[in-house]
Amino acid sequence: MKKIILTALAVLGFTFANAQEQIEKGKWLIEANTGFGGLGTGNTSFRLTTEDGNTAWNVGAEGGYFVMDKLAVKAGLGYGDTGADFANSIFSYKVGAKYYLLNKFPLEVSYNGASIKDADENPSYVGFQGGYAWFVGKNISVEPGVRYNVTLNDDYGSGKGAFQFNIGFALHF
């Protein structure tokens, strides 16, 4: 039992030290996320769903630069479709900041939106996200999280698509 506890503490210590090194000022990160929920909310994640014969998909990525230790300024782009024959194409964007609390808990605030083909009004949101960063290697982290998007448009109100769950994969260099 003592060996198990010591091994667990050693792994946690290594992970914590490794995280500090990768979230220092001057470092970069590139993220790819899987997104569950919130289609059309400025989604910059990878997603594929089918419901009642309609397939919706999205691809995207985000990048960031650490302007100070633990704080990155980020931007992201995504593209997807929600209709038959690519009739409802969606171009998504996101800009914001991500802070690693205690080197392990990424907290993000961002403005995200979408440009939907032939829409009268396009959605825009302020998003709040929190999660956990598990550094599985020197330059790689897995970051599951939850996001809440607050709508800035009347047409997209009533909390439509407000919650998103995701699993992020980040490269740090």
Q: Is the pLDDT of residue 1 over 70?
A: no
Average model confidence (pLDDT) across the chain: 83
% the chain with pLDDT above 70: 78
Domain count, the chain: 1
Q: What is d(CA 143, CA 1) in angstroms, rounded to the nearest whole number?
A: 29
- Return the half-sphere exposure (C-beta side, CA atoms, 13 A cut-off) of residue 89: 6
CATH number for the domain including 6? 2.40.160.20
Rounded average pLDDT over 162-171: 89
pTM of the entire predicted model: 0.82
List the beta bridge partners of residue 73.
65, 97
Pairing relationship of beta strands 28-36 and 163-172 according to DSSP bridges? antiparallel
**pLDDT band of 34, cuts 50, 70, 90:** confident
Q: Quote the domain boundaries for residue 22.
A: 2-172
Identify which of 71, 80, 76, 47 has the alpha carbon closest to the alpha carbon of residue 167: 47
Q: Is the pLDDT of residue 75 over 80?
A: yes
CA dihedral (117, 80, 166, 62) positive or negative: negative
Quick: pLDDT tens for 5-25: 656 555 555 444 556 788 999
**pLDDT band of 114, cuts 50, 70, 90:** confident
**pLDDT band of 65, cuts 50, 70, 90:** very high
